[in-house]
Structure 1
Amino acid sequence: MKKRLNVAVVGAGYWGPHLGRNLRASREWNLAAICDLDIDRARRVADAVGGASVTADLQSVLSDPLIDAIAIATPAKTHHEIAMAALEAGKHVMVEKPLADTPEHGLEMVVRAAERGLVLMADHTSCYTPAVLKMRELIAAGEIGDVLFVDSLRVNFGLIQPDIDVFWDLAPHDLSILDFILPGGLRATSVAAHGSDPLSSGTSSIGHLSMPLADGVMAHLHVNWLNPTRTRRIVIGGTRHTLVWDDLNPQQRLSVYDRGVDLSSISHATAKDRRAANVPYRSGEARASAAEEREALAAVVAEFAAAIHGHRDARTSGAAGLRVLSVLDAAAHSLAAFGAPQPLPDQLRAGGVAA
């Protein structure tokens, strides 16, 4: 039997209560403390999850030798300072996305965790939903063949954020999913972003992001705060099948389509002149791919414990968080350059990070 690990949640705002509830319910964890500058808010969260020590003093948490890990649920601009202090104190760290406020800060966190032999995990919760785990499994097994394209749509009506644009608010969800399910992760070569600010709020509320990936694959993401409908959909086209993930359809979150281009029947001679090629299409059936419904965050905290016990990287590691963060940063630079593509660092194009 592995011993339960002691964990403190740092941040009792929106996400902290969800983390606290799942850590309290987990067989792998003992929820040791809730830490927040607002002690009353920390106390309310502790009471809601069944009790835990509360404190406004982060240093007291980090100096406690009985605490093995912390889960950070604070604003992104504070992630680097808190995580670095925790890693220096010998604590394993899980961080709410985005990993940090800049790629430079994120890289420091990844390097320090590796130097100290500690787990740094990105809380990419969407990656642990049953449907996304199934997508990863199907792609890894070659079910859809070689990936040809990725189209992502994440739109809703509000809420307009005062300190970040629509890219930083909505795109991290789908970027983290793509990094999780595509072989080798987000191996983008460059990022081009176009945004619109029809409300004159000072930040983009509508955005389009394009990324050339490895082997000629193009990924496109559309995010929007002004759409009257709410949509969460990713389409991944392959040489054999196409996957459609519809997160808001609980009856059929994942579908496998047999429609597509029949590349196997295009001869090499014909393929030399694509303009003249008579491209054949398949018009097959669609089928649902069933997956048992369960709360993703419970799987997140279980994976955090498993990575610590197994002395291994988490499935959504700090490196994964850094790849997502670097795409967001490149998108911001592209926006400032009126949509000009911005290259990603060589180590991120290769699917890794510098050690």
Structure 2
Amino acid sequence: MQERLRIAIIGAGYWGPNLARNFHASPDWELAAICDLDGERARRVADQVGNVAVVTDLNDVLTDAAIHAVAIATPARTHHAIALAALRAGKHVVVEKPLADTREHGDAMVREATERGLVLMADHTYCYTPAVQRIRELVEEGALGDILFIDSVRINLGLIQPDVDVFWDLAPHDLSIIDFILPGGLRPRSVSAQGADPLGAGKACVGYLTIPFGAGAIAHVHVNWLSPTKIRRMVIGGTKQTLVWDDLNPQQRLSIYDRGVDIERQSATSVERKASTVSYRLGDTWSPALPEHEALALMATEFAAAIREERAPRTDGRAAMRVLSVLDAAAVSLRAAGAAVPIEEDLPDLEVVA
């Protein structure tokens, strides 16, 4: 058996306990410490997972040569500074979404990891769920055909965050999923964002992203903190079949519809024959069986495998940067009353692990 890697959790707030529980249970990892400025909060998390050290000074974690990696579960505005300090201390890093609070900060994190030959991984948790992994397989094998559109809805009566708007809070989930399932990742030409603040909270509480990508296809993401009902649904339309993912329906999370629109283009030898013939396909509906496992457990396994195999993880820094680039452009679009904002290319010359 391989020796277990040792990891410290940085941040004992909302997400930290979930990370602590899964890394503690993983056969690949030894949970070495819970680090938080609030010692009592860190102690409560440590008590939930057994005899784990509590640390209130990040430097104590970074100077411990026996700790191989850190998992950062702190507010997005702190990710850049903590991750850079950890990488410079020789630690592998996994970061809660989003990777950073700006594209420039994310870029610096990826470059630092690359130069030091360390793993920088984004905790895009949904990408490790059985449903999303099956969607990726269906897209890869061509079951849906060419992707025509993606409609994603993530709404609930949620907590209005003090430091970010609804785009930065909720949309990273949808964007990371879209990036994960599309061959080559999410590489749109531009993004348009419309947001509203009907409560006067000082930030967008309701938002819509429009993202054109490749060959006329388009993605639309709706996020909302103010809905009295909770919806987690994505519709992926292809030239062959359409897939509906309903994350809140445990009995049938995935449904595949052999339904759609077929357009047969006629010969253009005359004006009359330039018209297209439209037909509607109404076929069967089926639901693939899905295995049961906790997404964070698989994420922890992937993080360890990437370190041991000296390779980039499936949700690496480059994937995180593609998500961050859309969020960054969306913020510019929001300030420009919804104008389309071009997306900068991600880091084509970099790999996460040297």
TM-score computed with the length of structure 1 as normaliser: 0.95
Question: Deviations along 1:190-210, whole A, 9 cap, x unmatched?
Answer: 010011111122111111100
Counterpart amino acid of residue 169 in structure 2: D
How far is 1:338 from its partner? 0.4
Tell me, what secondary structure is at the counterpart of 1:134? helix
How far is 1:279 from its partner? 1.1
How many angstroms apart in 2 are the aligned matches of 1:274 and 1:22? 62
Question: Deviations along 1:190-239, whole A, 9 cap, x unmatched?
Answer: 01001111112211111110011122211111111122211001111111
How many angstroms apart in 2 are the aligned matches of 1:297 and 1:30? 15
Identical pairs, percent: 63
CA RMSD of aligned residues (A): 1.6
Counting only pairs closer than 5 Å after superposition, residues 31-180 of structure 1 correspond to structure 2 as: 31-180=31-180
Question: Deviations along 1:248-305, whole A, 9 cap, x unmatched?
Answer: 0000001111001224x444649x9999423111111111111012211101101100
Question: Deviations along 1:87-118, whole A, 9 cap, x unmatched?
Answer: 11111000000100110000111111111111
Residue 192 of structure 1 corresponds to which residue in structure 2?
192
How many angstroms apart in 2 are the aligned matches of 1:274 and 1:36? 70
Tell me, what secondary structure is at the counterpart of 1:259? strand
Counterpart amino acid of residue 73 in structure 1: A
Counterpart amino acid of residue 284 in structure 2: E
Residue 291 of structure 2 corresponds to which residue in structure 1?
292
How many angstroms apart in 1 are the aligned matches of 2:66 and 2:29? 13
TM-score computed with the length of structure 2 as normaliser: 0.95
Tell me, what secondary structure is at the counterpart of 2:71? strand
In structure 2, the CA distance between the partners of 1:284 and 1:59, relative to structure 1 (3 Å rule), is: same
How many angstroms apart in 2 are the aligned matches of 1:269 and 1:5? 65
The answer on whether the counterparts of 2:265 and 2:274 sit within 8 Å (CA) in structure 1 is no
Q: Which of 93-102 and 160-169 deviates more?
A: 160-169
Tell me, what secondary structure is at the counterpart of 1:278? strand
Residue 250 of structure 1 corresponds to which residue in structure 2?
250
Residue 231 of structure 1 corresponds to which residue in structure 2?
231
Tell me, what secondary structure is at the counterpart of 1:46? helix
Counterpart amino acid of residue 234 in structure 2: I
Counterpart amino acid of residue 93 in structure 2: V
What is the number of equivalent residue pairs in this alignment?
349
In structure 2, the CA distance between the partners of 1:273 and 1:59, relative to structure 1 (3 Å rule), is: farther
The answer on whether the counterparts of 2:265 and 2:275 sit within 8 Å (CA) in structure 1 is no
In structure 2, the CA distance between the partners of 1:318 and 1:274, relative to structure 1 (3 Å rule), is: farther
How far is 1:165 from its partner? 1.3
How many angstroms apart in 2 are the aligned matches of 1:326 and 1:115? 21
How far is 1:353 from its partner? 4.2
The answer on whether the counterparts of 2:266 and 2:275 sit within 8 Å (CA) in structure 1 is no
Counterpart amino acid of residue 130 in structure 2: P
Residue 316 of structure 2 corresponds to which residue in structure 1?
317
How many angstroms apart in 2 are the aligned matches of 1:82 and 1:262? 52
Tell me, what secondary structure is at the counterpart of 2:283? coil
In structure 2, the CA distance between the partners of 1:54 and 1:276, relative to structure 1 (3 Å rule), is: same
Q: Any gaps of 5 or more consecutive residues in structure 2?
A: none
Q: Which of 238-247 and 199-208 deviates more?
A: 199-208
